[in-house]
Amino acid sequence: MNIQESYQYAKQVYEKWGINVDEVLETLKRVPISIHCWQGDDITGFEVNASELSGGIDVTGNYPGKARNPEELRQDLEKALSLIPGQHRINLHAIYAETNGEVVERDKLEPKHFEHWVKWAKEHGLGLDFNPTLFSHPKAEDGLTLSHPNPEIREFWVNHCIASRKIGEYFGKELNTPCLTNIWIPDGFKDMPSDRLTPRKRLKESLDQIFAVDVDENYHIDAIESKLFGIGSESFVVGSHEFYYGYALKNNKLCLLDTGHFHPTETVSNKISSMLLYSDKLALHVSRPVRWDSDHVVALDDELREIALEIVRNDALDKVMIGLDFFDASINRVAAWTIGTRNMIKALLYALLTPNDYMKKLQDESKFTERLALIEEFKTYPFGAIWDYYCEQQGVPVRENWLEQIRTYEQEELLKRN
């Protein structure tokens, strides 16, 4: 069977469960994924006086073709986007500012330093999201930023976050789609702390200062991101999940969950429904931890499917803002974007093709045998035929055919970079 014939067969299989496949694909087209720019250059950025990567973040590998400047990074993103179905967003860090060779400290960044990104986003119909960069900097060398005991260092990072929110507001206004500006900090201690409360008080005060500066909520959304531990902060992280979730609820901010930022046996999928009971919206950075927060390329594994199911079955596609956060320099970086983003979209399609209402009914009727049986049977339903058709309709390569374009791009572009 060809793609159209396979699609028609699969469509009949799903429709006997009351699933309107055409409507599913229309819904899927409207779900943007925020694709992180930093996969393309190993979180190097373009600062004139750039510091080495720090803050408990590590990128391993030296695969050829790393983007060396903004033009190459945007070109690589364009290539990845041409292989990914749907219309999406790009997520930037502050270190991706373009300052024309001038040293501009992070607390002095302005919208003008991102004009090229906005122009490019307009040309390609993309939204932009943003993150202040509170790592890889001399003022973060001891692992503390917004919770630092030195008020001058705290003030520097507070001003950087304020500047970042203004840049995010600019993105939203220029692109007519709200920008999510997310604050993550590496603050914590390698060994046992003698005082947990005071650093958290300082962090709270810093956040209060940052959010006291008004930005237009029609164009800008604030988010704060928690973490359990990291390299150099194994024993204590100031911005824990409990800290940020409490702050978000009290101050009407979004809590952002990174799937690699929790205990290895703790799943983000299990948190989504509880948090949506108390929050209108939440945000995700989808990654794949391997024993720790190692940010591997997102795979279509059980947890990714469960995250997508939790979003879909709880009618939360417009409540959960989905972003990605992984970085692998051991493989082709454009391929990494393609694999990870396609997998996130596949997981959402899988969830949309599940008879969620019927599954809920089985649970309410205590028909647990039938529920488990159907959960397992749906794993081998002809989901792939629907995916192939969707890719064809969206004008992107079907199945692994995109790999040939990656190989050509690598030969013609990436291998020419030193």
CB atoms within 10 A of CB 49: 9
pLDDT of residue 112: 97
Catalytic residue ranges: 184, 225, 227, 258, 261, 285, 293, 295, 325
Residue 57: what pLDDT?
65
pLDDT for residue 229: 86
Closest CA to 29 of 380, 315, 286, 345: 345
C-alpha–C-alpha distance, residues 343 and 365, integer Å: 33
Domains with residue ranges and CATH for the chain = 1-30+355-418 (no CATH), 32-352 (3.20.20.150)
Contact in structure between 320 and 328 (CB atoms under 8 Å): no
> Per-residue DSSP letters for 85-133?
-S--EEEEEGGG---TT----GGG--GGGGHHHHHHHHHHT-EEEEE--
> Taking a C-beta distance cutoff of 8 angstroms, is the pair 144, 92 a contact?
no
The radius of gyration of the chain's CA atoms, rounded to the nearest angstrom, is 22
Q: What is the pLDDT of residue 231?
A: 85
Q: By the 8 A CB rule, do 273 and 314 touch?
A: yes
Six token digits for residue 29: 């087209």
Residue pointed to by tokens 């202040």: 132
Spans of the chain below 50 pLDDT: none
CA distances from 295 to 76, 260, 303, 306, 327 (A): 20, 7, 14, 18, 6
